[in-house]
């Protein structure tokens, strides 16, 4: 018996469909979002694997992997996300139902790291600010737009996984001193990732630029709030290419408006896309992008190819390399054996 794989008809690099369609162990169905829910639900009820978009606001709530969803799809054994994130997936619910969750960690790490550095350069050199003034015909003297170099500044990296590691590596090339906080890694491992380990409060108080690269979960939601922003160096810069919700947007606005922070580069938002009247978008010292840090041709290809390879490995009973909840793997491995032997 083959494993049934479903995904919706969102844009995905063609390498995913090409590789999956060639696998003799997989039945592959692309569901149309325009079809009635009742039609799609029938496909999901027989699905073993669900390949889902990683960004929460791009997946309708009814198709998020929740406890309720899993109760109606009791054949499901694996959820595969299209990127490093897994916001539309309730990991605790998957653990309770014995469903494996895999992501594509590292596939877009270079793209996101480059974007983070780009935001730092943009904010510190006031590139977008200059562009906006020129287009509006409001330029005065060049000195009114005087910025700062990155060389010699201290970068604080919060979360030094694949993206954080590559951001730290690039920052070193610019002559920055790099501190990193990651409670899941040893000081020695952080040193191997081009940074000096320190506590969260020390990083916040010493960093000239704070760059966020941690996942969004119960530990990190609202991590950056008024209390934390008040502990930063006066004039520090805040950068986030991680996930919306890790920083409190209202508190960030207050810190920027008061001058406690000198600027911010934001690729992620509590609601995506943010409303055009979001107060942060009205500040001249905020550089904003639409969750596009990891949206490059290279990253999209890598994510699609890695996703297909992981699913094909799973169909062959091989443990995938990028598992979010490894404790359920033994149970899922047994389920795969039973399915494929029938």
List the chain domain ranges. 3-105+297-341, 109-288
**Average pLDDT over every residue of 18-36:** 95
Q: Write out the H or E segment, with its range, that includes residue 3.
A: strand 3-8
Q: Are 178 and 195 in contact (CB under 8 A)?
A: yes
Closest CA to 283 of 84, 79, 126: 126
Tell me whether the CATH fold assigned to 3-105+297-341 matches the one assigned to 109-288: yes
* Percent share of the chain, pLDDT over 70: 100
Residue written as tokens 């960004």? 55
Alpha carbons 34 and 97: distance in angstroms, whole number: 29
Q: What is the DSSP string of 143-191?
A: GGG----STTPEEEEE--SHHHHHHHHHHHHTT-EEEEE-TTS-HHHHH
Q: Beta strand 49-52 with 3-8: parallel, antiparallel or unpaired?
A: parallel
Helical residues (DSSP H) of the chain, grouped into ranges:
14-21, 37-45, 67-72, 91-97, 109-125, 127-135, 162-173, 187-192, 200-206, 226-229, 249-258, 297-315, 329-341
Identify the CATH assignment for 109-288 out of 3.40.50.720, 1.50.10.20, 3.50.50.60, 3.40.50.300: 3.40.50.720
Q: Beta strand 78-81 with 49-52: parallel, antiparallel or unpaired?
A: parallel
Closest CA to 241 of 301, 162, 153: 162
Encode pLDDT of 207-257 as tens digits: 999 999 999 988 999 999 999 999 999 999 999 999 999 999 999 999 999
Alpha carbons 60 and 66: distance in angstroms, whole number: 12
213 is catalytic: no
Encode pLDDT of 120-139 as tens digits: 999 999 999 999 999 999 98
Encode pLDDT of 269-318 as tens digits: 999 999 999 999 999 999 999 999 999 999 999 999 999 999 999 999 99
The pLDDT confidence band at residue 342, using thresholds 50, 70 and 90, is low
Which residues, at least 6 apart from 112, have a Cβ–Cβ distance to it below 8 Å?
Answer: 163, 166, 167, 213, 241, 293, 294, 299
Q: Write out the H or E segment, with its range, that includes residue 261.
A: strand 261-266
Q: Which is catalytic among the residues 19, 114, 272, 309?
A: 272
Cα torsion angle, 186, 190, 196, 200, sign: negative
Quick one: 3-105+297-341 is in which CATH superfamily? NAD(P)-binding Rossmann-like Domain (3.40.50.720)
**In this structure, what DSSP letter does residue 272 have?**
S
* Percent share of the chain, pLDDT over 90: 93
- pLDDT score recorded for residue 341: 76
Encode pLDDT of 131-165 as tens digits: 999 999 998 899 999 999 999 999 999 999 999 99
322 is catalytic: no
Alpha carbons 63 and 283: distance in angstroms, whole number: 35
Q: Write out the H or E segment, with its range, that includes residue 239.
A: strand 236-240
CA angle 160, 166, 171 (to 5 degrees): 100
Q: Beta strand 177-181 with 154-158: parallel, antiparallel or unpaired?
A: parallel
Q: Which is catalytic among the residues 115, 166, 213, 243?
A: 243
**Average pLDDT over every residue of 102-114:** 96
Q: Write out the H or E segment, with its range, that includes residue 29.
A: strand 26-31
Q: Which is catalytic among the residues 48, 247, 291, 312?
A: 291
- pLDDT score recorded for residue 219: 92
**Average pLDDT over every residue of 195-213:** 98
56 is catalytic: no
């Amino acid at each position: 018996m083959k494993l049934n794989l479903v995904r919706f008809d969102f844009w995905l690099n063609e390498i995913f469909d090409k590789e999956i369609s060639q696998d003799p162990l997989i039945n592959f169905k692309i569901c149309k979002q325009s079809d009635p829910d009742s039609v799609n639900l029938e496909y999901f009820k027989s699905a073993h694997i669900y390949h889902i978009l990683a960004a929460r606001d791009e997946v309708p709530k009814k198709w998020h992997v929740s406890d309720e969803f899993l109760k109606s799809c009791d054949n499901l054994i694996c959820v595969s996300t299209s990127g490093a994130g897994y916001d539309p997936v309730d990991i605790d619910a998957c653990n309770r139902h014995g469903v494996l969750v895999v992501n594509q960690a590292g596939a877009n790490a270079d793209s996101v790291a480059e974007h983070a550095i780009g935001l730092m350069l943009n904010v510190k050199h006031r590139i977008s600010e200059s562009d906006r003034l020129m287009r509006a015909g409001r330029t005065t003297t060049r000195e009114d737009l005087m910025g700062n170099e990155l060389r010699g500044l201290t970068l604080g990296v919060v979360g030094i996984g694949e993206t954080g590691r590559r951001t730290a590596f690039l920052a070193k090339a610019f002559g920055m001193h790099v501190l990193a906080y990651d409670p899941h890694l040893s000081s020695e491992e952080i040193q191997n990732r081009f940074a000096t380990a320190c506590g969260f409060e020390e990083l916040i108080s010493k960093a000239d630029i704070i760059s966020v690269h941690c996942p969004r979960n119960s530990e990190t939601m609202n991590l950056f709030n008024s209390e934390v922003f008040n502990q930063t160096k006066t004039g520090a810069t805040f950068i986030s290419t991680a996930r919306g919700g890790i920083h409190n947007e209202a508190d960030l606005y207050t810190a920027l408006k008061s001058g406690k922070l000198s600027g911010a580069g934001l690729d992620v938002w509590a609601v995506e896309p943010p409303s055009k009247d979001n107060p942060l978008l009205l500040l001249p010292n905020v550089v904003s992008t639409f969750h596009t840090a990891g949206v490059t041709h290279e990253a999209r290809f890598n994510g699609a190819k890695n996703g297909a390879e992981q699913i094909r490995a799973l169909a062959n009973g091989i443990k995938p390399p990028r598992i979010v909840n490894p404790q359920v793997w033994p149970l899922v491995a047994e389920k795969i054996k039973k399915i494929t032997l029938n």
